[in-house]
Structure 1
Amino acid sequence: MTPSVQRRKAPLLRRVIGTVFYNLPHPMRRRIVRIVTPTYTLGSVVLVMDEDREHLLMLRQPPGRRWTLPAGLLNRNETPLQGARRELNEETGIEADFDELVPADPCAVVHTHGRWVDNVFRLVRDPSQTQVIVDGHEVWDAAWQRADDLPEMTRATAKLLSHYGLGPLAAEADDPTTA
């Protein structure tokens, strides 16, 4: 004896929409799905710190006075590692080899409200030996900040840094009652 399967009848409008949708050519169905489903923008961020994690390179970018990190959106067909390397060079003048950019732990941070994903990499540099060059247009200023006394930063930067035990929101990330 086989178990019986009960089926509910879908409302008429839903059946009609389903029938029309599944009779469309596959490329058109795929395009519709991509339009109506949530999508995430991908970016790369680089945490440039000294060996002892005492100093962090931060940037001040238009339009605000708050500080951020070297970061940017990925170009089409660009890997997160390539994007991190490119953005780091564009914003700070620092050139890094691919093997110097190490995935952070966690290696990705999902910002669900803004619908973007940051791929995060670490780079170790000695502040006294690293020349930082900013263009004054995309980046106004760059400075090595003490990791235990970071300046006022954007909310997104503070949230990202909290995943690494840094910044003003780090205590919240460690406190299970605020989760």
Structure 2
Amino acid sequence: MRPTGPLATIRNRAAAVAYPVFYRLPRGLRRWLVRRVAPTYTVGAVVLLYDIDQAGDRTGQLLLLRQPGNRGWSLPAGLLDRGERPIDGAARELAEETGVELTTGQLTPATPNAVIHHHGRWVDVVFEAQAPATETTLRVDGAEVHDAAWHPLADLPPLSRATARLLAHYGISSPHTPLDPQPTSGQPDQPGPA
């Protein structure tokens, strides 16, 4: 339903004047103006990597990382490079942080696929994948990631706050990481990468 009344009429008249003026401006100036008024978000890719058995069924374990400066465990994740597709960024970050190399065909969009962190102004594009822990060699660089390990979903270790909030969107929690009450929008309220 469109707003009605005097305020809507004023808004419509202002738009009728402003849009033609805006579109006559040089393209560079229009882009500059849009960047000044439109909200911007940082976009990252996150991977939920589940362990599977020889039959291809999930065993109930999730791959987590210990990173410097984080009090809890986190997920393989990172910022997208400019122009990079989220699925490519997810595969790249997984390989860089854990040594696990999967093709983009082995990654599937999680549901929900994107988690918007309004207060931190970032978006996590989340993918799921499966790999057998017994046959997967984990390699960490010791600088960006100190440790990578499989953990049972039923008893996850303490998680970083951002990771705990992200996993809550998928019905996953850690008994060692209580969450603060969520805002009424149901979105996370603290900035920070997963």
**Percent of residue pairs bearing the same amino acid type:** 50
Q: Report the equivalent of 1:55.
A: 61
Structure 2 contact 155–174 (Cα < 8 Å) conserved: no
Q: Report the equivalent of 1:140.
A: 146
Q: Which letter does structure 2 place at the counterpart of 1:167? A: S
1:2-151 correspondence to structure 2 within 5 Å: 22=22, 24-51=25-52, 52=58, 54-151=60-157
Q: Which letter does structure 1 place at the counterpart of 2:61? A: H
Gaps of 5+ in 1: none
Instruction: Report deviation, 1:126.
Output: 1.1
Instruction: Report deviation, 1:26.
Output: 3.3
Q: Which letter does structure 2 place at the counterpart of 1:84? A: A
Once superposed, which parts of structure 1, at least 4 consecutive aligned residues long, lie more than 4 Å away? Answer: 5-10
Instruction: Report deviation, 1:36.
Output: 2.7
Structure 2 contact 66–148 (Cα < 8 Å) conserved: yes
* 1:68 aligned counterpart, secondary structure: coil
Distance in 2 (alpha carbons) for counterparts of 1:101 and 1:44: 11
Q: Deviations over 1:142-179 (max 9, x none)?
A: 1111101111111111111011110149x98xxxx995
Q: Which letter does structure 2 place at the counterpart of 1:140? A: H
TM-score, normalisation: structure 2: 0.75
Structure 2 contact 98–140 (Cα < 8 Å) conserved: yes
Distance verdict in 2 for CA 1:36–1:124, change over 3 Å: same
- Calculate the aligned-residue CA RMSD, in Å: 3.0
Distance verdict in 2 for CA 1:144–1:29, change over 3 Å: same
Q: Report the equivalent of 1:158.
A: 164
Distance verdict in 2 for CA 1:122–1:8, change over 3 Å: closer
Instruction: Report deviation, 1:35.
Output: 2.3
How many residues in Structure 1 have an aligned counterpart in Structure 2? Answer: 166
Distance verdict in 2 for CA 1:66–1:99, change over 3 Å: same
Structure 2 contact 116–123 (Cα < 8 Å) conserved: yes
Distance in 2 (alpha carbons) for counterparts of 1:9 and 1:118: 38
Distance verdict in 2 for CA 1:126–1:9, change over 3 Å: closer
Structure 2 contact 60–153 (Cα < 8 Å) conserved: yes
Distance in 1 (alpha carbons) for counterparts of 2:169 and 2:76: 17
TM-score, normalisation: structure 1: 0.81
Distance in 2 (alpha carbons) for counterparts of 1:53 and 1:40: 35
